[in-house]
Structure 1
């Protein structure tokens, strides 16, 4: 097989074999610890600007299924695996991973020591890199990585959002996660406007599952336009990159706080934090995977969550240990509670306004293929809308 290189901006170079589409690509190199879900990862718009390293050593063994895509196309800049499976074994599979990558013009590399790469990124941090099938000169490949654009300050949401508003009606069907049997059916159909900062299809399906009529709007939609749609609630989606790169979204959300119930996920959570007057910062190597433990400080319950983000909301003083009760912040919109924290690094994983119908989480409760510990949050959004209309 043809040789390929992965070069990092700090000078590290990994040699492997060409995979996917023959060519060259650049992006921020991150690692994902999920053992399954590579198709969902590749089609998650939140990965725009990034080269994904899968830490699971064997990728592609169950093939590719069109039903499992999370958006209209692949958004990752590149793909790195230890071993791409030469065969597929799954009754749902319709395509081999290599064929899927090549058809999407996704430049990838296999055969490198992904354990060594992951340890390097943990120690040195996420950084720009280049995958090349064309370049045999390691020094030139490193220089290309150093010149590759970073993600800080970039408006990546504008590159992945929809062109115009549309209605979404599909639900999860037979794949719907089991809900609490004590949860009553929704009392009505709730009109929800969902901001598309890079929204995943499974988020929209989950909103429909719990009784929402969903209208998706572009990331640049202002608050006046949203209010003209007269929604019962507003959803702020996931998306790629730096929340400070989308000031127009922060301004729109700031205007909507207190006017409509709001639920945010991932980038939507960070945008909400900025709208409330908090700050965000870039994590050393981000959170990417399907096994991140998060504690709900209101109940003490620990949830295993799916995550994909390189930025987080900052407190004035970092959380050094798990708080005994939710920390409360004073903002221009009243008191805001930190509702969830990461048990890995104590970063903020959830916020809720104490006197306004607004809450958000940093992780992905719609996770597909899983875990589904946090599926109840969509029901909480329904209850918030019900209460605001009581």
Structure 2
């Protein structure tokens, strides 16, 4: 243990419930956000840097966090995106030879408050029963009245637009300009491993800001269009929904993941909803209705596409179903070159059951070119 004594800390939930813990680093700080949990047994660095988690306080259900340190090449964005970390056992020492720094240093460098020694099983059980809600984590126990007031003023995730907070400000290109395929990707919270998956399939990728129009994308002469994952409620994303509608009008190859999947649904008049506590982990079972095969998938979302609304649309079909709760995990348009999934086929750090979806998109591009 690095510190002989550590400051006391608490998690204060929106409904007034308090859980106790200790600060990982002895700093005086408070962080606010929607509290959520991830059940993954590995991949904490990828989770913390996933833009889809922007504005959320992350509870890790795996008992040990930090034991293999961090590695610069395994981040999924330009930095940590979670608002704060809540865990059971925090490892100050790490044993992975490939690691270049400790998780403690990684968090401290980006001013992220972390709390350990929390009864995370009790906290997760409470969230599962009572639903996702805003919370504060703090070591400033002498300021609880002010913290309670600030927590009350923290906006709800439902109706909150966050894609603009994590999207690139300027378009950028990745890969070989002489590659066979050109992919225009809308960044509403894109993960680096999505881009890597395109590049290794002989694609040249241009990543565009969240509010880019189809005309701007078409000027680059892409072969296919991609709508990324990302944080927050999809309904406020008016520009992205308009973009999806415009792409579909011209029947251009379109692929969406997570938030992009929800945007495609909204572009077709299919509603979305805020889930009770969401799906976050790397072991979620999904049925591919086209093949009859089961897939173990990586998931991270607090909103979902309404199954009732989708089934009322004769132009759209459900392709994948989440086997735990029968929610929509994938869709396709019957008369358009478009499909999307609610989970993460790039799945950094895994599993890799669904990477075929990138190949499916390339096949759709080939068909459009034929």
Quickly name the TM-score band, shorter chain normalised. over 0.9
Q: Is the 8 A contact 1:129 1:146 kept in 2?
A: no
- Give CA deviations for 1:152-178 in whole Å, capped at 9, x if unaligned: 2222000000011110128xxxxxxxx
Provide TM-score, normalisation by structure 1: 0.90
The answer to whether the 8 Å contact 1:5/1:136 transfers is no
Q: How many residues align?
A: 361
Counterpart pick for 2:334 among 354, 363, 379: 354
Q: TM-score, normalised by structure 2?
A: 0.94
Is it true that 1:245 corresponds to 2:228 in the alignment? no
Given that 1:101 and 1:107 are in contact with CA atoms closer than 8 Å, whether structure 2 keeps it comes out as yes
- Aligned pair partner of 1:69 in 65, 69, 75: 75
Partner Cα separation in structure 2 for residue 208 and residue 86 of structure 1? 36
- 1:378 maps to 358
Runs of 4 or more consecutive aligned structure 1 residues displaced over 3 Å after TM superposition: 136-144
Residue equivalent to 1:6: 11
Residue 128 to residue 43, structure 1, CA distance change in 2 (3 Å): same
1:7–1:13 contact (8 Å) kept in structure 2: yes
Residue 115 of structure 2: aligned partner: 109
After TM superposition, the structure 1 = structure 2 runs for residues 89-168 of structure 1, keeping only pairs within 5 Å, are: 89-136=95-142, 141-168=147-174
Determine whether 1:81 maps to 2:73.
Answer: no
Q: Distance in 2 between matches of 1:7 and 1:36?
A: 27
Shift of 1:210: 1.2
Q: Is 1:203 matched with 2:194?
A: yes
Q: How far does the alpha carbon of each residue in 1:314-343 deviate from its partner, in whole angstroms, 9 at most, with x for none?
A: 0327xxxxxxxxx86535xxx211000101
Asked if residue 345 in structure 1 is aligned to residue 331 in structure 2, the reply is no
Query: d(CA) in 2 for partners of 1:276 and 1:289?
Result: 28
Q: Matched residues in 1 for 2:369 and 2:263: separation?
A: 25
Equivalent position of 2:204 in the other structure: 213
CA RMSD of aligned residues (A): 1.5
Task: Give the secondary structure class of the aligned counterpart of 2:24.
Answer: strand
Specify the SS of the correspondent of 1:243.
coil
Q: Contact 1:7 / 1:138 at 8 angstroms: preserved in 2? A: no
Report how far residue 147 of structure 1 moved: 2.6
Structure 2 unmatched ranges of 5 or more = 1-5
Q: Tell me which residue corresponds to 2:245.
A: 254
CA distance in 2 between counterparts of 1:16 and 1:32 reads 18
2:3 — aligned with what?
Answer: none
The separation in 1 between residues aligned to 2:8 and 2:142, in whole angstroms, is: 8
What secondary structure does 1:281 align onto?
A: strand
Structure 1 match to 2:183? 192
SS at match of 2:230: coil
Task: State the distance in 2 between where 1:25 and 1:85 align.
Answer: 21
SS at match of 1:365: coil
The DSSP-based 3-state class of the residue aligned with 1:98 is helix
Report what 1:24 is aligned to: 30
Q: Which residue of 2 aligns with 1:330?
A: 313
Tell me what 2:53 maps to: 47
Deviations 1:211-269 (A, max 9, x none): 21100000100122112222110010000010012111101111111421000000000
* 2:297 aligns with one of 302, 305, 325: 305
For structure 1, list consecutive stretches of 5 or more residues without a partner in the other structure.
171-187, 318-326
